[in-house]
């Protein structure tokens, strides 16, 4: 049997975990805790691997540490992380604070697992078991550590990072991407919509042309899909 979260993470790490899950929920306001859980998993992998976070600089040692914390918690004690998600959603949406963040409440574990598996398939993450994910995470951690040891003479992904930066900050590059994806343009502030979602393949992705309010792109089907990413992600996956 795998050790529980209480046995594996110390008090400070458990608090950090809850704090970060609250931060993520505040950005996306998921109504379904399983959506939040799936996004935590994506986030953990990104923080370790860095490749999908081209918007940002390469992960710092702190980012990696957070990535490892998230993925370790998920791999070891999925149900405790899910319990935190179940408590974080009402906390962020209407201020209900639980007595204990890891208090699981009343739910059917099999149903939760089935729903998470389905959501992951919808998001194109694949229906991997957490055991398989754990092996992959070990592998990516090894890789991250090896990368961190290398002294980089030449910055990687310079070109890609420049593109990602433009798509994040520059309205005319964003407009160009919208046109190339045959988006509908309307409204004030101007919104591009109707682009094909990389996860659910429906014409339901939208973003703001001017990045002031929100730089990322999101799928409209927040319950059945929930995909979101940077415009660079969208360009790359489309
Ligand atoms: Zn979608």
What's the CA-to-centroid distance between 149 and ligand 1, angstroms?
A: 38
Contacts 24+ apart (CB under 8 A), 127-132: 130/74, 130/75, 130/78
Closest CA to 203 of 227, 220, 215: 220
| 191-196 and 203-208 beta bridge pairing | antiparallel
Q: Is the pLDDT confidence value at 133 over 90?
A: no
The CB density around residue 162, as the number of other CB atoms within 10 Å, is 11
pLDDT value at position 7? 77
What's the CA-to-centroid distance between 100 and ligand 1, angstroms?
A: 33
What's the CA-to-centroid distance between 226 and ligand 1, angstroms?
A: 6
What's the CA-to-centroid distance between 236 and ligand 1, angstroms?
A: 15
Q: Give pLDDT tens digits for 72-119.
A: 888 778 888 889 999 999 999 999 999 888 887 777 777 777 777 777
Q: Give pLDDT tens digits for 20-37.
A: 999 889 888 888 888 888
What's the CA-to-centroid distance between 7 and ligand 1, angstroms?
A: 37
What's the CA-to-centroid distance between 195 and ligand 1, angstroms?
A: 10
Q: Residue for token digits 């009343």?
A: 106
Q: Is the pLDDT confidence value at 120 over 80?
A: no
What's the CA-to-centroid distance between 225 and ligand 1, angstroms?
A: 5
Q: Give pLDDT tens digits for 165-174.
A: 889 999 999 9
What's the CA-to-centroid distance between 33 and ligand 1, angstroms?
A: 17
pTM of the model: 0.50
Q: Which residues contact 128 (CB under 8 A, 6 or more apart)?
A: 120, 136
What's the whole-number average pLDDT of the chain? 81
Ordered strands of the 203-208 beta sheet: 184-186, 191-196, 203-208, 217-219, 228-229
State phi, psi for 208 to the nearest 5 degrees: -80, 140
What's the CA-to-centroid distance between 185 and ligand 1, angstroms?
A: 19
């Amino acid at each position: 049997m795998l050790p529980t979260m209480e046995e594996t993470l110390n008090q400070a790490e458990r608090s950090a975990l809850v704090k970060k899950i609250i931060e993520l929920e505040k950005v996306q306001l998921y109504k379904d805790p399983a959506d939040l859980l799936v996004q935590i998993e994506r986030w953990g992998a990104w923080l370790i691997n860095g490749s999908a976070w081209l918007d940002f600089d390469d992960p710092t040692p702190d980012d990696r540490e957070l990535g490892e914390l998230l993925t370790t918690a998920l791999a070891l004690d999925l149900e405790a992380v899910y319990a935190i998600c179940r408590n974080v959603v009402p906390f962020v949406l209407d201020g209900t604070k639980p007595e204990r963040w890891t208090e699981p409440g009343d739910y059917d574990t099999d149903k939760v697992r089935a729903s998470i598996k389905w959501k992951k398939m919808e998001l194109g993450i694949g229906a991997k078991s957490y055991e398989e994910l754990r092996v992959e995470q070990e592998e990516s951690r090894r890789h991250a550590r090896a990368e961190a040891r290398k002294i980089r003479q030449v910055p990687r992904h310079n070109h890609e990072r420049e593109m990602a930066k433009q798509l994040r900050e520059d309205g005319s590059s964003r407009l160009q991407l919208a046109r190339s994806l045959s988006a509908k343009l309307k409204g004030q502030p101007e919104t591009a919509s109707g682009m094909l979602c990389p996860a659910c393949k429906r014409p339901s992705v939208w973003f703001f042309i001017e990045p002031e309010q929100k730089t990322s792109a999101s799928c409209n089907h927040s319950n059945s899909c929930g995909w979101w990413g940077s415009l660079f992600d969208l360009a790359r996956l489309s």
